[in-house]
Structure 1
Amino acid sequence: MKQSWKKLVAVLLTVTMLGALGGCGQEAAAPTDGDSAKDAPKTESTPDAAENDNADAKAGEESQSDSIKVGYSLKTVQEERWQRELDGCEAAAKDLNVELIYQVANGDAQTQVSQIENLITQGVDVIMVTAVDAGALTNILNTAKEDGIKILVYDQQLENTYGDAFVGYDDFTNGTLIAQELKNLDIKGNVVLLHGDKSSGIEKIIDGEKSILDQLDVEIVMEQYCQNWGAEAALGYAQNALAEQNNDIAAFVCMNDGIASGTIQALEEVGMDGKVAVTGMDCELTAVQRIAKGTQTSTLYKDSVALSRAAIETAVKLAKGEAVTTESTINFGVNDMPHVIVNSAVITKDNIDSELIDTGYYTKEEVYAE
């Protein structure tokens, strides 16, 4: 028994010494300088290289997990304006190290609901949304809220829906700006109002337009909403208005450049293009070209770079739990939320060069292309 006991002690001592020696060997092999370790050659056969690779992989995973994940649900990118917004969001997200996941509903409200459900399952920190239908997202965005996801409403207003922040223009002000050039031109006579899609929450824009028209000696002889903000719908309404009024129309107040394009097509058909005031919004290149040629009167320049940057910056604040401090708030029927306002500018033939070309938004060759 004693001999067995002595053998057992000897074995235990041997194991202890080997363990200590192993620990000292690992400590000596560990790099003492981070840069040296990074610059050291790495091969699969070298234990230190494998440890460094594992450390790099772990750091990458931690960096990815720490990054802010923003989901952006867009109603469309078929309009030039919204493609610019998406491009701006991607650029800003890259600058701010934000992971941006976007999905496009292509003008279908139910598709948008399904896509937002998908963004929720992907574990985003913030959902940014530009709605197809202002009243269709109440339930799904409330689900996102209950899951702890922040809601950022992007430019177009919602109905009866919660939000943590709204980043966009002031709709009433934009409405006044759309109609402003009619006041500058002292337009008199019959006027047609062609609005965007009724489901887009645009009533305050209409209010702004009418606040200017009320100051003029005009009569509104037609007022229509254009489904999906489409040029085709606008073409039909403009043709009808011209026929009903025997071409006696002084101005078409169009709520975006696509609607303006359909209207101008109708005017071309009766030889009145360039003879009737036509407004627009979004500063699409084709609209600016029409303004340069004299067939469209004005458009509203909404700086997509400034807006998209403000949206991503606000999303970062929401994700970090930081306060979004603004001078004004907005309410979509559920709660007051901060309203981050980006300003717009009216573009006419007189300021195309100074506002768009000199600033690099468009080139002279683009605008004045034959």
Structure 2
Amino acid sequence: MLSSLTTAAARPGPRRGRRRRTVRTAVAGLAALGTAAALAACGGGDTGGGGETGDEATGGTSDVTVGLVTKTDSNPFFVRMREAAQEAAEENGARLVALAGEFDGDNEGQVAAIENLVTQGVDGILITPNSSTGILQAIADARAQGVLVIALDTATDPEDAVDATFATDNREAGRLQGAWVKGALGDTAPVLAMLDGTPGGTVDTFRHEGFLEGMGLSENSPEIAGMENTNGDQTKAQTAMENLYSRNTEINSVYTINEPAARGAYQALSDAGAADKVVIGSIDGSCDGVQAVKDGEIGATVMQFPDKMAADGVAAVVQYAQDGTKPSGFTDTGSQLITDKPVEGLESQDTAWGLENCWG
């Protein structure tokens, strides 16, 4: 089922044909928009249609309508992405319709959301795919209708299934996490637990592979004590960590797909009286996640910039609606290692910087 929000700011218009319309409001500063959004200060929070439909539509003065489909509408990462997209749409005189899956992994909900948006006549769709392959036909159908489709945060497989991708280089983010964990262990041999995300997602695969590269390990290395999928959920991660640690109390390092998984791992290890014996790394850069680094619960995290992904995506859709220009290829929206325990040879920022630049 589709998850969505509704406001009275604007209502979706009728289905239109292939878009070759002009923007009523002049579009200024598109190139600078993404950079400005990436500098947005943080608040609080942490890191995440078919049947009954609804939408969040904002703006309403322009002929340009931007659709946004996130994995969920509750994960603070996607909440912030939606907020940034709304801000960018308002700045560009466009209208935003935001939909989401019910949970991380809800591919059917996202397929229905794309169909919903195409029916509403959007000019472009920004999507963070739950499944990098399961969403392909819906994307192809949308593009055949003249809708620009841009992947945010999570690439499709193949990558050229969409017009363009604006995302973190997740393999590099994973590598930074792994290199930091390796450096933090020093001369101690790793006994590693891996708390993965959702099978089938490129984000999950790239971060996992990048982490192993940073650690100097392979998929079958004996240093890996066990792997569990967590869907990036704190409760599932806590249970997974409890299971892994009960089977091997020599575990001294943990890879986590995101900060909720890291906090779940920390809670399990804390309950077992082992939190101070295990190095935990993560990825996200939420304000709660950075605070957890400052508090010593997570050793380091790699910050992403969802504001920039959303702002660049909205600007690209507006540009497309204005003159038909399409973006292409992969745009790296950046990543930054955050820790108060720097490792030699790895560029990092401390948590003071992190709390000034975090999201959520």
TM-score normalized with structure 1 length: 0.72
C-alpha distance in 1 between matches for 2:210 and 2:198: 17
Where does the alignment leave 5 or more consecutive residues of structure 2 unmatched? 1-22, 26-59, 342-348
Distance 2:271 2:239 in 1: 12
Which of 108, 123, 126 is the aligned partner of 2:124?
A: 126
Residue by residue over 1:199-244, the C-alpha shift from the partner in whole angstroms, topping out at 9 and shown as x without a partner, is 3222222221111112699811112222x32122211221121111
**Secondary structure in structure 2 of the residue aligned to 1:192:** strand
Q: Does the CA contact (< 8 Å) of 1:178 and 1:255 recur in 2?
A: no
Tell me, in whole angstroms, the C-alpha distance in 1 between the residues paired with 2:70 and 2:358.
23
Identity value in percent: 21
2:324 to 318, 321, 326: 321
Deviation track 1:101-144 (CA, whole Å, cap 9, x = no partner) reads 11121222212211211100111111111112222211111111
C-alpha deviation, 1:276, in angstroms: 0.8
- Between the aligned partners of 1:292 and 1:309, the Cα distance in structure 2 is 29
State the AA in 2 paired with 1:98.
A
Q: Does the 8 Å CA contact 1:130/1:153 hold for their aligned counterparts? A: yes
| Counterpart for residue 268 of structure 1 | 270
1:4: which partner in 2? none
Name the larger-Rg structure: 1
Whole-angstrom distance in 1 between the partners of 2:24 and 2:313: 25
1:45: which partner in 2? none
Pick aligned residue for 1:113 from 106, 111, 114: 111
Change (3 A) 1:215 1:109: closer
Matched, 1:189 2:180: no
Structure 2 Cα separation of the partners of residues 323 and 277 of structure 1: 44
Local SS of the residue matching 1:85:
helix
Partner of 2:177: 178
Q: What's 1:198 paired with?
A: 199
Corresponding residue to 1:347 among 338, 341, 357: 338
Does residue 80 of structure 1 match 2:76? yes
Partner SS state of residue 279, structure 1:
strand
Deviation for aligned residue 1:66: 5.6
Q: Which residue of 2 aligns with 1:296?
A: 298
Residue 216 of structure 2 corresponds to 214
Match for residue 229 of structure 2 among 225, 230, 255: 225
Give the AA of the match of 1:146: A
Which amino acid counterpart does residue 89 of structure 2 have in structure 1? Answer: A
**Aligned position for 2:35:** none
One-letter code of the match for 2:76? E
Structure 1 residues 70 and 219: alpha-carbon distance in aligned structure 2, compared to 1, 3 A threshold: same
Higher relative contact order (CA 8 A, sep 6+): 2
CA contact (8 A) 2:316 2:326 kept: no
In the TM superposition, what whole-angstrom CA distance separates every residue of 1:49-102 from its partner, at most 9, and x where no partner exists?
xxxxxxxxxxxx977686321111111132211111111111111111121111
1:253 aligned counterpart, secondary structure: strand
TM-score (structure 2 length as normaliser): 0.74
Q: What is the Cα deviation at residue 354 of structure 1?
A: 4.2
User: What displacement does 1:275 show?
Assistant: 2.4
Residue 165 (structure 1) aligned with residue 164 (structure 2):
yes
Q: Which AA in structure 2 matches 1:274?
A: D
Question: For 1:199, what is the secondary structure of its paired residue?
Answer: coil
Determine the structure 2 residue equivalent to 1:243.
246
Residues 248-274 of structure 1, C-alpha deviations (whole Å, 9 max, x = no match): 111001110011111111101111113
Residue 275 of structure 2 aligns to a residue whose secondary structure is: coil
SS of 1:148's partner is coil
Tell me how far apart the structure 1 counterparts of residues 179 and 117 of structure 2 sit (CA, whole Å): 40
Tell me, yes or no, if the aligned pair for 1:254 and 1:278 is still in contact at 8 Å. Answer: yes
Q: Distance in 1 between matches of 2:146 and 2:338?
A: 42
Q: Is the 8 A contact 1:154 1:311 kept in 2?
A: yes
Q: Is the 8 A contact 2:177 2:214 kept in 1?
A: no
Task: State the Cα distance separating 1:323 from its structure 2 match.
Answer: 4.6
> Which of 137, 140, 143 does residue 142 from structure 1 map onto?
140
Q: Give 1:341's aligned amino acid.
A: D
Q: 1:218 & 1:283 partners in 2: Cα distance?
A: 30
Distance between the aligned counterparts of 1:314 and 1:181, measured in 2?
35
Number of aligned residues: 288
Amino acid at match of 1:239: E
CA distance in 1, matches of 2:257, 2:169: 14
Q: Please name the residue that 1:286 is paired with.
A: 288
CA drift of 1:353 comes to 4.3
Q: Secondary structure at the match of 1:222?
A: strand
CA 1:267–1:66 in structure 2 vs 1: closer, same or farther (change >3 Å)? closer
Q: Which residue number in structure 2 is paired with residue 104 of structure 1?
A: 100
